């Protein structure tokens, strides 16, 4: 395996390794394992650019070797990170079983970005897994994470996908791939659970101090830094989940190892988007109890945050009782933080302007009507903001929806605003397109069968989701009811 090429592939490398300053139990040194025949599939040039990386002079073969892990960038020090987590409520030791962190790229604005290869081979944390990823699932992560970014929602990003030329054995034999993931960091709730459970208070404190320095430096001088840090994470999560609810995003596997301390959406396994509105919508094949259903996401975030609080207890206060009292109060503050974010978000989607007491009811009545009439969540807001002709959307002519619409128009046109003005204000909050599940599956199937062009096109469209363009109508289509009924997503990694 050629690890160090004669001259580096790409320009602008500036890798740091701050994570390796943590005690060594937090990671294992682990180089990516070379693949047979790397082939470039996707490269995110604007993202590379923002990281200060320039691949213009590199040929495709070289780039494929780089993003497959066959050649390492200069000064990389690859590691697999250790973490634990509650998966569907059960505590387990985990860790990067098929990913390695190459380092943290310092961007021109001096911010640090984790560069991680996912699907890069076995690590000490692989348990029974093969360390590999399928092309379809890595293309899915690329597409959805970039769509989330386009929607304005904090998310890990995707820099590249390469095919490995190697088979991956799942229920069926599939093509293998490696994704390059870019994140503010890969520190998870589960990283803290791991430290608290196995490494003792001193190591736990080292992790917290590191995390504060990296993500929440303003709380470093606080009289109760652990509590202040925890409250920051609570705020970030409240903001994030409200944003998911804005666009109908269902994460699908909100285990504590898949919740980022930096507040980014992370781990696009069985995620999907709501079409016809229903709070109990769930698509993931393994979520048989609906634990991670659309409307449950705020509750699950609260549950996950309580795991984080438990892990932080010894750092919150030296007196255990006091620590528990303070932690409980902070955990429960999530409900208020979330409610504030949610109401603000819905207010923006509906153009409500200054808050009124009756707004809560107006919002919940809308959701009841949508769910009863099985109306599309995204379309409903486009209809309200005048971007859909009513003939195209006969469901919105139903008397129950029309009654609600009358109430809403009366509510928004007060304060001297015209309906057109209100609609104009709503547009930045209501996407014209979301990555519809049926379209995502269609382009992924085409891509793994050799035609990548439809995926490129969908990617382009979902990266600019507020763009009002009549030619995008096909991307606004909803799936047939039968399709939706049978749709399941798989962790199918
Ligand atoms: P996820 O469900 O993707 O969040 O993964 C949960 C855990 O399983 C993480 O520790 C992953 O690293 C690990 N894992 C998932 N797929 C594989 C695989 N193919 N080989 C090894 N470990 C894996
Ligand atoms: Mg995960």
pLDDT surpassing 60 at residue 35: yes
Q: Using CA positions, which residue lies closest to atom 6 of ligand 1? A: 94
In this predicted model, what pLDDT tens digit does every residue of 350-384 receive, in sequence order?
Answer: 999 999 999 999 999 999 999 999 999 999 999 99
> Ligand 1 centre and the CA of 96: distance in Å?
7
In this predicted model, what pLDDT tens digit does every residue of 90-120 receive, in sequence order?
Answer: 999 999 999 999 999 999 999 999 999 999 9
Binned at pLDDT 50, 70 and 90, residue 468 comes out as confident
Q: Using CA positions, which residue lies closest to atom 17 of ligand 1? A: 129
Q: What pLDDT was estimated at residue 401?
A: 97
How much is the average pLDDT of 304-312? 98
Q: What pLDDT was estimated at residue 7?
A: 81
Atom of ligand 1 nearest to the CA of 131: 20
Which residue from 27, 86, 97, 271 has its CB within 8 A of the most atoms of ligand 1, so it is best to mutate? Answer: 97
Atom of ligand 1 nearest to the CA of 168: 19
Catalytic residue among 257, 267, 287, 376: 257
Does residue 10 contact residue 73 with C-beta atoms inside 8 Å? yes
CA 310 to centroid of chain Cα atoms: 24
> Ligand 2 centre and the CA of 201: distance in Å?
25
Q: What pLDDT was estimated at residue 3?
A: 53
Q: What pLDDT was estimated at residue 273?
A: 97
Atom of ligand 1 nearest to the CA of 130: 20
Q: What pLDDT was estimated at residue 392?
A: 64
Dist CA 254 CA 264 (whole Å)? 12
> Ligand 2 centre and the CA of 134: distance in Å?
15
How much is the average pLDDT of 12-18? 98
Number of the ligand closest to the Cα of 95: 1
Binned at pLDDT 50, 70 and 90, residue 306 comes out as very high
Q: What pLDDT was estimated at residue 469?
A: 86
Q: Using CA positions, which residue lies closest to atom 14 of ligand 1? A: 97
Q: How many CB atoms lie within 10 A of CB 484?
A: 16
In this predicted model, what pLDDT tens digit does every residue of 56-90 receive, in sequence order?
Answer: 999 999 999 999 999 999 999 999 999 999 999 99
> Ligand 1 centre and the CA of 81: distance in Å?
12
Dist CA 433 CA 302 (whole Å)? 29
Closest by CA to 145, choosing from 300, 264, 245, is 264
How much is the average pLDDT of 461-474? 91
Number of the ligand closest to the Cα of 269: 1
Q: What pLDDT was estimated at residue 278?
A: 95
Q: What pLDDT was estimated at residue 211?
A: 98
Q: What pLDDT was estimated at residue 424?
A: 97
Residue 257 designated active-site: yes
Q: Using CA positions, which residue lies closest to atom 7 of ligand 1? A: 94
Number of the ligand closest to the Cα of 119: 1
In this predicted model, what pLDDT tens digit does every residue of 144-176 receive, in sequence order?
Answer: 999 999 999 999 999 999 999 999 999 999 999
pLDDT surpassing 90 at residue 488: no
Torsion of the alpha carbons at 227, 232, 235 and 239, rounded to the nearest 10 = -160
> Ligand 1 centre and the CA of 259: distance in Å?
14
Binned at pLDDT 50, 70 and 90, residue 492 comes out as low
Question: In whole numbers, what is the pLDDT of the chain averaged over residues?
Answer: 95
Q: What pLDDT was estimated at residue 391?
A: 61
- State percent of the chain over pLDDT 70: 98
Q: What pLDDT was estimated at residue 490?
A: 74
> Ligand 2 centre and the CA of 257: distance in Å?
6
- Predicted TM-score (pTM) of the model is 0.97
Which residue from 84, 94, 179, 186 has its CB within 8 A of the most atoms of ligand 1, so it is best to mutate? Answer: 94
Q: Using CA positions, which residue lies closest to atom 23 of ligand 1? A: 97
Binned at pLDDT 50, 70 and 90, residue 486 comes out as confident
Per-residue burial over 425-445, b = 16 or more CB atoms within 10 Å of its CB, e = otherwise: bbbebbbbbbbbbebbbebbe
Question: For ligand 1, which residues put their CB under 6 angstroms from it?
Answer: 94-98, 125-126, 129-132, 253, 257-258, 267, 269, 491, 493
Q: Using CA positions, which residue lies closest to atom 12 of ligand 1? A: 97
């Amino acid at each position: 395996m050629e690890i160090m090429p004669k001259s580096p592939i790409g320009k602008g490398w500036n890798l740091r390794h701050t994570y390796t300053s943590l005690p060594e139990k937090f990671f294992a040194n682990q180089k990516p394992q070379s693949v047979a025949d790397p082939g470039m599939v996707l490269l995110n040039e604007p993202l590379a650019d923002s990281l200060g990386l320039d691949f213009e002079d590199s040929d495709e073969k070289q780039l494929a070797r780089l993003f497959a892990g066959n050649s390492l960038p200069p000064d990389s020090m690859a590691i697999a990170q250790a973490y634990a987590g509650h998966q569907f409520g059960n505590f387990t030791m985990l860790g990067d079983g098929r990913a390695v962190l190459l380092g943290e790229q310092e961007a021109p604005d001096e911010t640090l970005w984790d560069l991680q290869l996912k699907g890069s081979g076995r690590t000490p944390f692989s348990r029974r897994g093969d360390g590999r990823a399928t092309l379809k699932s890595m293309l899915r992560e690329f597409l959805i994470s970039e769509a989330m970014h386009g929607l304005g929602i904090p998310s890990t990003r995707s820099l590249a996908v390469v095919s490995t030329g190697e088979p991956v054995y799942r229920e069926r034999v599939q093509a293998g791939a490696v994704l390059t993931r870019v994140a503010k960091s890969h520190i998870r709730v589960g990283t803290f659970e791991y430290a608290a459970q196995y490494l003792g208070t001193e190591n736990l404190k080292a992790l917290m101090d590191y995390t504060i320095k990296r993500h929440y430096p303003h709380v470093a001088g606080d009289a109760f830094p652990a509590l202040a840090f925890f409250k920051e994470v609570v705020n970030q999560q409240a903001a994030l989940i409200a944003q998911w609810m804005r666009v109908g995003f269902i994460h699908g596997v909100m285990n504590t190892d898949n919740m980022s301390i930096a507040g980014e959406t992370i781990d696009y396994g069985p995620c999907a988007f709501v079409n016809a509105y229903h709070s109990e919508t769930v698509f993931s094949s393994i979520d048989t109890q609906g634990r991670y259903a659309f409307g449950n996401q705020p509750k699950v975030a609260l549950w996950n945050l309580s795991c984080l609080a438990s892990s932080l207890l010894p750092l919150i206060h030296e007196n255990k009782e006091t620590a528990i009292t303070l932690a409980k109060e902070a955990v429960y503050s999530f409900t208020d933080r979330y409610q504030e974010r949610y109401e603000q978000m819905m207010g923006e989607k509906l153009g409500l302007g200054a808050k009124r007491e009756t707004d809560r009811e107006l919002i919940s009545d809308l959701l009841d009507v949508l769910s009863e009439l099985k109306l599309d969540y995204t379309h409903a807001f486009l209809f309200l903001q005048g971007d859909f002709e009513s003939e195209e959307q006969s469901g919105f002519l139903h008397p129950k929806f029309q009654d609600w619409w009358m109430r809403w128009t009366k509510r928004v046109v007060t304060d001297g605003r015209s309906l057109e003005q209100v609609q104009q204000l709503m547009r930045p909050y209501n996407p014209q397109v979301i990555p519809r599940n049926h379209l995502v599956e269609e382009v992924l199937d085409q891509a793994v069968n050799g035609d990548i062009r439809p995926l490129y096109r969908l990617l382009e469209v979902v990266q600019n989701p507020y763009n009002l363009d009549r030619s995008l109508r096909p991307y606004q289509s909803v799936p047939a009811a039968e399709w939706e009924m049978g749709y399941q997503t798989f962790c199918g990694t």
